[in-house]
Structures are given as C-alpha cells and as structure tokens.
Amino acid sequence: MNILSDKYTTVKPENVTIWFKAAPVTAFPKDGGACVKYKDLQIAVFNFKRLNTWYACQNLSPEKQEMVLSRGMIGDHKGIPMVACPLHKKIFSLENGENLNGDLEAIATYPVKIENDFVYVGFSE
Amino acid sequence: MKTIIVVGNGMVGYKFCEKFVAKEGSEKFKVIVFGEEPRPAYDRVHLSEFFENQDAKALEMAPAEWYAENNIDLIVGERVTDIHKASKKITTAKDRELSYDYLVLATGSSAFVPPIKGVEKEGVFVYRTIEDLEGMLAYAAKLKQTNPNAKAAVLGGGLLGLEAGKAVMDMGLEPHIVEFAPKLMPRQLDSRSSQVLQLKLESIGLNIHLSKATNQILGDKAITGMEFGEDDVLDVEMLIISAGIRPRDELAKTCDLEMGVRGGIVVDNKMQTSDPNIYAIGEIALYNQMIYGLVAPGYDMAGVAADQILGESKSVMAEEIDMSTKLKLIGVDVASFGEPFMPAAKGHSIIFENKTQHLYKRINVSLDGKKLLGGILVGDATDYSMLHQIYLNGMAIPEDPAQLILPATEGGGSFGDVMDLPDEAQICSCENVTKGQICGTIESGESKDLADVVSCTKAGTGCGGCKPMVKDLTEATLKSLGIEVKDTVCEHFDLNRQDLYKIIQVKGYKTFDEVLDNHGNGGHGCELCKPVVASLMASINADTANKEYAIQDSNDRFLANIQRNGTYSVVPRVPGGEITPDKLIALGEIAKKYDLYTKVTGGVRIDLFGATLNQLPLIWKDLIGHGFESGHAYGKSLRTVKTCVGSTWCRYGMDESVSFGIELENRYRGIRAPHKIKGGVSGCIRECAEARGKDFGLIAVEGGWNLYLGGNGGATPRHAELFAEQIDNKTVIKYIDRYLMLYMRTAKPLQRTAAWQERLEGGLDYLKEVIIEDKLGIAEDLENEMQTLVNKFECEWTQAINDPEMMKRFNHFVNSDEEDDNLVFVPLREQKMPEKWV
C-alpha cells in the first residue's frame, strides 16, 4: 500500500526543474486549500493568507492512504503552520511535512510561487 | 543465559511476561511460553463481548508479534504434560523435551461440570474459551433455523453465569438462569441487593429460576430440558454450564508438588511452590488456603513471581487480598468491597434501597462509627472508587455515614474530596499508580495537564475506571499549585466557548479573522478554534456553513459526512420519519442513479453513502427537485426528532406524536449548537420513540406531555430527566426554546446536553428555576434569540447549488473536472463498500 506514498517526495526550491501552472489565485479559498492534479499526482495547495504565504503538500493522508489533505483546516500549532487531516485530525507541518501530534511518516511538501495571479507548483523531474 | 518456561498463556501467564520483560535484568533470561489453546492470551473477563462482534483479535492481550518483539518464544496449541523436577525438564504433548531453570505454572482453571445425569448430551456447553463460544454460536444458529424462539439456560447464577446469560441474549435465544442457591451472585451479594439485581435483570428479559437443584438433563441425543424435581421441568434446547471453576493442577500431580486437599498448588508469599525452582500464579495457586478467581490478585502474583526470579526478594504478596470488584453485568453496575456481608456483632449497616429504580447501596461501618468496613452497590456504582479508597486507606468517615451513599444535597458537605486521600492510595489498580505519583509528576513540573499525567504515569490506560479520579486529582493538584485550570478552547485563545459567545454577540463580529485578531493570542487559529467560532457565528447570526467554509469542521465544509475513504454520505431531512411513497421512491431512484450504498440510519432516516465530492451537488439538485432539504446529518445541530406513530394510528396513542415531532424538527432544523441534538416524541408511556434517550424527549400522558431533558445514547448513555409534567404543546416549545438556547450559550465545545446538564451547578433544580420560574430574568431573551434563528432558517444545500461561486468547492481538483482516481470500492451484499483500510 506504500506504492501510493512512494510517488510523493519533497521537492526543495533549489531543485525545482518544472514550475507547473496550476490555477488562478482566486480558485483557492482564503486560509484554506484545494487540490491540484499534476500528471498522476494529487497536490494539496494552501493559500495561507494570514501569513501571505502559499504551501503545497501531497493530498494523500499517510495515515489511511486517502486523498483528503486539501480539504483540511489550516492554522498553526505552537507557531508552526499546519494542516489538519479531515479524517482524524492528524496535523502536519506545512513547512517540512512532519506529523506534529503523532508519529506518522512525514508528508512530502512542494514549493509554490505566484506569478501574474497564477499559482505554480514546483516539481523536480 | 537462564531459561524460564511459563506453562499457560492465559491472562495471568501473559501478565507475567509483560511484567517480566519490562524489568531490568530480564534480558539475561530466555522466556518460553506454552499455551494449550490455539491462539495467544486473550481477555477472558470480557469474553461475552465476543458475541457482539465475533472478533477474537479484539480480545487479544497482545498480538503474536508482541512476544517475538520482546524475545519471548510463544508456542500455542501445545500442552505441557509432565514436569521432571529433579532434572528440571518438561515434556509436551508433542513429545518435546525442554530444560528450565525456573518454571512458572499459570495453567488457570477449567469450568467445573457437576456430575448431573445426561450432562454429556448434545447442546450442553461450558463457558470458558473462545472455542466454547464458537461451538455455542454454531449450535444456536442451527437451533434458530428450526425454532426461532428457542430457549437456552445457564446453570449457575454467579458472576460468570450472568455473563453467560448475556451471551445467550446476544445469540438471540430466550435466556434462562438456573441457580441452586436462593439468590443470584451468592458469593458477592446479600439477599436484598440480589433481589434488586434480579428485578433489574428480569426487566430486561432474563428469566431467573432460584433454589433449583438439577436432577437430570432430558432428551435423547440432544438436550430438550432440565428436570429439577417431579413435575418440575424447564424446556430448553441448549444449556451452558457455569457452576464454578476447578484449578488445572494436574501437572503438579505428575511431579509431586504440595497441593491443597481440594486442589490448587500450595504457594508461599513469594509464589514459590514446594519446589524452589517452580512458581505458581493465578487460579491454580493456593495462597492462604484460598484460590483467588479474580484477575487483579492474579496480576499481583505475576508481578511477585517476576520480581522473585530477578532476585528482588522483598517483593512478596500482601497478606490480605482485596477482593473488591466493580463490574457491569448485562449493563447493570454491580460492586462490592471489603466485607460485603458483616455479622451484626462487628458493626452497623446503612442501607439505601430503591426498587423502582433498581438501586441498592449498603455500607458497613465499625461499631464506633469511625471506619468503613465494606459494602455493596447495585444499579449505580459511581460511588465505588471513593468508597473503595476510604475503605482501603482506613480514612475517617463523616459523623453521619449515610452521607457517603445518599444523593448529594445542596450545601452538603464536601466529603469525598480526592485530595483527602493519603499519598499511598492506589488510584489506578491496573497500572498500580498511587495518588502520590500522580500529584508528584505535577508538582515536579513534569506534567502540566491531564494528558501529561496519563503519559507519564500510565494511570487510566488500563480499564479506564479510574479516569474521573485521575482528572479530579490533576485539577485539584494544579489548583493547589496556584495554576489556573483553564478550559480555553485551544492555544490561540485565553477564552472559553462561553466567553467567546458573549464577545461575538456583543461586538457583532462577522468573520473568524476579526475574532482572532481582536481576542486571540497572535496565532493563526487551528482545527479546534475554527469550528468553535464557526458554530458560534451560526448560533448567534444564523449563518449557514456556506458563509466562511474554510473555517468549518470537516463535514460542514462540504455539507456532507466524510466517510472512511474520503467519499461522503448524504442524508436528506425526513421530519419525524414521515415520508410519502413518492419521496421514498425518489430516494431510491437517486441512490440507484449515483450507485450509492443505501442504509436506514440509527435516527430512522435514509443515508446514501459513497458520493464523491463532485457528485454531491448533482445529487442534491435531484433531491431538492423532489422536495427534499438538507438533513444536517453532518452538522453539530439538530439531527432528527424520532417519533412513534402516535394516536393517528396506534390504538394506545394518547396524542399525535408524529405531528408534534414534525413541528419540533422543522422548528429547530439547521440550528448550530455545541454538539448534535436529537429529539424524540412518544405517543404513550410504552415509549416506542425512545424519547428518554434524546436531548429532549416527550411522552404523551393524560392531560398533556411529559418533558424529559438531557438524555444521551453514545459512549455514555444517560436517561433524560423528567423536567415538567402534563404541559401543553405551547409550553413544551417555550421550555425547549429556553433550554436549547441556554445550552448553546454556556456549554463547552463538543459537549452534549447530557454532560452539560450533569455538570451544571445546581443541576436539574437550577434548570427548572431558570427555565420555568425565570429566576435570572433571561427567559424572554432566550425565546427571542431562538425565534430569530427559527425565522432565519435557510436550507444551506439549496443556497449552495444556486450559487456558482459556492459550487466551485465541490470539485476534487481545482484544475480538472476529473474525480479522485484513488477510490476503490468492493462489492458487499448486492451493494458496495470502500476497500478495507490497511
């Protein structure tokens, strides 16, 4: 079952080779997320308006292998920006993917940039 | 490396392994465990739960891997047959020979089968192992095919016998209990408490036969009945024998260990048998000339044997063993502690009995009235923990000991404060944690809240019975250190829900950011405070969940219930459970169109499962087109008002329960509260709508309705309390308006009415003063606020599908119309279900 999560590995900004043009900024809720399809990947993208920052991570919850993280609430846990999985409220750092309230494996995170009101997600291929 | 062989892999044998490997020095030993049964040790105390789910794994003490991970060789399905003391060897039924340095005997006991004529007949079982239960289940299934009303009897009305009685009920057979003594649970209960228990058990459908000596079992090949005397016959097609236990001490006979006259292997307080290399623990150990059939002393023995083998010679078994127990028998609390029966020469008894409510409490106090010696509780054992502690620690008791068991009165003494316990008082008996340890971890700064205390001390992680005490102790200790125990909603606010309610109401805030920026701690919110604020905005401004969807809880965000695989379920409102055939057909057509798994819910509505995010608006367009509206099954809001058919059809009905149920459901629909709310309306006292299990419940009586408040099913079931009698429809609505609004104003996040009401200072009397007598002068405000919410109701699904902006969020992808490609369904009884979770 780990075949799914094997598809997702963290991409550092310096390693980006492809900036995928995902959707206009307005397609994402303020302080919330939506899911972007890139090839056979599902990427959760969050508009963290309160920090004026965008985050992206795998949409796959590592707990039970469901594609749901983009539907989770975001906010901070002791100052760390996080997303809470809608199924059992496991929370993950949006900065490094770490599970902040348990010992699940970390999720993959991806760089995001905004150009001309469009959201781009960075991949390395 | 030395070798320990443990013979027997039951609860106590397992506990020995668990305690042993946790100790320092245990790595120098090789542990080999033999179990006769085909599976690793399981929780025999909760055996009857097997009938509910038939999941043997769920009962396991630890999975087979646990033994391997701890370097223990577990050999199941192989019985040890001989011990050769002199050469320190054992042989097994498979003719294996193994050497040991220490042998731990934990073979437990077997069911005692009395020598009754015919006991070997088909359909006669004992109640001991999972295999026994599987045999019973198969037999019961066969019986029910030919006779759906088949009867089964249990021989023995003791603790285990009553458990077996529950098993019979769960198997769907008519249950009978046959006891030789003139009362149930003769070893634990006195006559009066036994009668109270009997009344209660009879009220839930058990047939009880006392003072019956079984002469023979009737039938040719299979059992057809039991004969007690001439012309005294009970026709049954199945019999479960639960007439006591016998120690499995046959191994001791093979090697001449010292034994008791009536069985059991003699041990000293180190759990050592007559051979210093052989220990015996649990139900085969004869300690103080007694066999202890309870699990707690068995666990203590396991700990002593583990210590002794590791050279801790000071660890010995206590001289007196506490036989106090608290358990739930077929849902009935039964507890006894200390000396439950006491001769009049030793002290006085104080007895509180209420047969109408099936309650019995007895405490025995010393002649000078200063010490608690023991007692019995039936029907309600909430006082058990405190009474047991007072008894164990010899604490002083109030001048009028009746205060210990009588319901607390207003302004009554504060007796029974946990902080009065001595430090050595054992709070968690499963993990052996004392009050001193709990307070110590807080005083040292190691623990800052309840979660810390639990993880540092392990208190409350066993059976969980001590949790309320651990919580009280934690809060009291924090308070004594001057640390304020906050009930703030989360790290982002120094405010509780009630504070936030007032702030939002007074300041008129409309967004989460306004509240956070003006009253938060500088953070950005989280999964705890966002839904709380969302719910408050809804309770105050009648906002629907469409308003600020990114702060809504998982289900509210998409106006549907998220299920196991990330798909959703859909429940339209069916007020009062009344539905026209056309609407029922429409539901079926829509379910078929979208291939949805369909099920009637516990709240008598129809739930359609397996909808993808993209399908939700399409399904709702169809539903709304057929006149349905949101059922708010996803919200912390009114779910259903369940009704019986009432006087419109029923020949017993006193009033129109369906009509009134529909009126109430339509009145309170959509209103967001701290938690979900359910209602029930029954047309007569037969109570077919189960209204007393609801947050608000009504029962039609001569002259009006009886109103019950604060009921709950769920994890902590609670009957609603009678609040007002014989009131008319208008008064009912007035009172429920006030009640719900007060609850919405003051409860904690995710607190049901039952828990709120229970913790409300002044209790039901206070509620009556506020709601009926308007002591606080707020009744009109409460009614007006509720009326505003009622007037502003809007179906949020209709709102969503008519607004293209709102519809956008129901796409799985923001850049594609495709659906989630990760969904896998498998067939299930002509429908479908999500693939199992790994």
ipTM value for the complex? 0.92
Task: Give me the amino acid identity at B60.
Answer: E
Q: Which DSSP letter does residue A28 get?
A: S
Report d(CA B576, CA B657) in Å as an integer.
9
Q: Are residues B165 and B276 in the same domain?
A: no
Task: Output Rg (C-alpha) for chain A, integer angstroms.
Answer: 13
Q: What is the pTM of this model?
A: 0.55
Mean pLDDT of B753-758: 90
For the domain bounded by A31-107, which CATH number is listed?
2.102.10.10
Residue B770 lies in a domain: yes
Residue B84's domain spans which residues?
2-110+247-309
Q: Are residues B52 and B176 in the same domain?
A: no
Q: Are residues B733 and B755 in the same domain?
A: yes
The torsion defined by the Cα of A59, A60, A64 and A68, in degrees rounded to 10, comes to 20
When pLDDT is cut at 50, 70 and 90, the band that residue B414 belongs to is: very low
The torsion defined by the Cα of B428, B430, B432 and B438, in degrees rounded to 10, comes to -30
Q: Are residues B682 and B781 in the same domain?
A: yes
Q: Name the range with the highest mean pLDDT among A25-29, A86-90, B428-432.
A: A25-29
CATH number at residue B288: 3.50.50.60
**What pLDDT is stored for residue B409 in this prediction?**
46
- Please report where in the chains the tokens 């900065």 appear, as a residue: A95
Q: Are residues B148 and B167 in the same domain?
A: yes
Q: Residue A32 and residue B550: Cβ atoms within 8 Å?
A: yes
Residue B728 lies in a domain: yes
Q: What is the pLDDT of residues B197-236, one digit of tens each?
A: 999 999 888 999 999 999 999 999 999 999 998 889 999 9
**Identity of the residue in B553, B814, B822 whose CB atom sits nearest the CB atom of A23:** B814
Plot region of A80 (φ>0 → left; ψ -120 to 50 → alpha; else → beta): beta
Mean pLDDT of B496-518: 91
Contacts of A81 in chain B (CB under 8 A): 524
Sign of CA dihedral B637, B642, B648, B653: negative
Q: Closest Cα to residue B712, out of B753, B750, B758?
A: B753
Q: Are residues B144 and B184 in the same domain?
A: yes
Q: Residue A31 and residue B565: Cβ atoms within 8 Å?
A: no
**Identity of the residue in A51, A65, A82 whose CB atom sits nearest the CB atom of B838:** A65
3-state secondary structure of A23: strand
Domain ranges of chain A: 31-107
Residue B103 lies in a domain: yes
Q: What is the pLDDT of residues B152-187, one digit of tens each?
A: 999 999 888 988 898 898 888 999 999 999 999 988
Q: What separation in angstroms does the CA of B110 have from each of A30, B126, B127, B210, B304?
A: 66, 9, 9, 24, 24
Q: Are residues B239 and B251 in the same domain?
A: no
Q: Closest Cα to residue B85, out of B250, B270, B257?
A: B257
Q: How many CA atoms lie within 13 A of A15 on its CB side?
A: 9
**Identity of the residue in A34, A68, A79 whose CB atom sits nearest the CB atom of B523:** A79
Q: Beta strand pairing status for B124-126 and B238-241?
A: parallel
Q: Is the pLDDT of residue B658 over 90?
A: yes
Determine phi and psi for B299, rounding to 5 degrees: -65, -40
Q: Which DSSP letter does residue B620 get?
A: H
Spatial neighbors of B649 by CB under 8 A, at least 6 apart, are none
Enumerate long-range contacts of B420-427, CB under 8 Å, 24 or more apart: B420/B395, B421/B389, B421/B393, B421/B395, B422/B393, B422/B395, B424/B393, B425/B389, B425/B392, B425/B393, B426/B392, B427/B389, B427/B459, B427/B466, B427/B469, B427/B470, B427/B473
Q: Residue B527 and residue A32: Cβ atoms within 8 Å?
A: no
Q: What is the pLDDT of residues B429-478, one digit of tens each?
A: 777 788 999 999 998 888 888 878 887 888 876 666 677 788 888 888 88
Q: Are residues B524 and B656 in the same domain?
A: no
Spatial neighbors of B683 by CB under 8 A, at least 6 apart, are B643, B644, B645, B646, B647, B650, B652, B653, B654, B655, B656, B657, B689, B700
**Identity of the residue in B527, B553, B820 whose CB atom sits nearest the CB atom of A91:** B527
| Number of inter-chain CB pairs under 8 A, A vs B | 110
Spatial neighbors of B256 by CB under 8 A, at least 6 apart, are B85
Report d(CA B44, CA B164) in Å as an integer.
12
What percentage of chain A reaches a pLDDT higher than 90? Answer: 80
To the nearest whole angstrom, how far is the Cα of B112 from the nearest Cα of chain A? 47
Spatial neighbors of B484 by CB under 8 A, at least 6 apart, are B478
Task: Give me the amino acid identity at B753.
Answer: T
Report d(CA B30, CA B98) in Å as an integer.
12
When pLDDT is cut at 50, 70 and 90, the band that residue B362 belongs to is: very high
3-state secondary structure of B574: coil
Report d(CA B433, CA B456) in Å as an integer.
11
Query: In which order are the strands placed within the sheet that holds B89-92?
Result: B80-84, B89-92, B97-99
Q: Closest Cα to residue A62, out of A34, A40, A91?
A: A91
Last residue of a domain, one of B309, B333, B349: B309
Q: What is the pLDDT of residues B264-318, one digit of tens each?
A: 999 999 999 999 999 999 999 999 999 988 888 899 999 999 999 999 888 999 8
Paired strand residues for B712: B718
Q: Residue A27 and residue B821: Cβ atoms within 8 Å?
A: no
Q: Are residues B679 and B781 in the same domain?
A: yes
Last residue of a domain, one of B277, B309, B341: B309
How many domains is chain B built from? Answer: 5
Q: Are residues B132 and B233 in the same domain?
A: yes
For the residues of B420-467, what is the DSSP string, one character each?
Answer: GS-TT-EEETTTTEEHHHHHHHHHTTS--SHHHHHHHH-TTSSS-TTH
Q: Residue A34 and residue B814: Cβ atoms within 8 Å?
A: yes
Residue B765 lies in a domain: yes
Q: How far apart are the first and last CA of chain B?
A: 39
Q: What is the pLDDT of residues B686-726, one digit of tens each?
A: 999 999 999 999 999 999 999 999 999 877 788 999 999 99
Q: Are residues B233 and B295 in the same domain?
A: no
Q: Are residues B445 and B538 in the same domain?
A: no
Contacts of B492 in chain A (CB under 8 A): 75-76
Q: Residue B566 and residue A37: Cβ atoms within 8 Å?
A: no
Paired strand residues for B376: B336, B362
Q: Is the pLDDT of residue B596 over 50?
A: yes
Kindly report the length of chain A: 125
Report d(CA B80, CA B520) in Å as an integer.
66
Q: What separation in angstroms does the CA of A4 have from each of A20, B658, B822?
A: 21, 51, 9
Contacts of B837 in chain A (CB under 8 A): 64-65
Residue B659 lies in a domain: yes
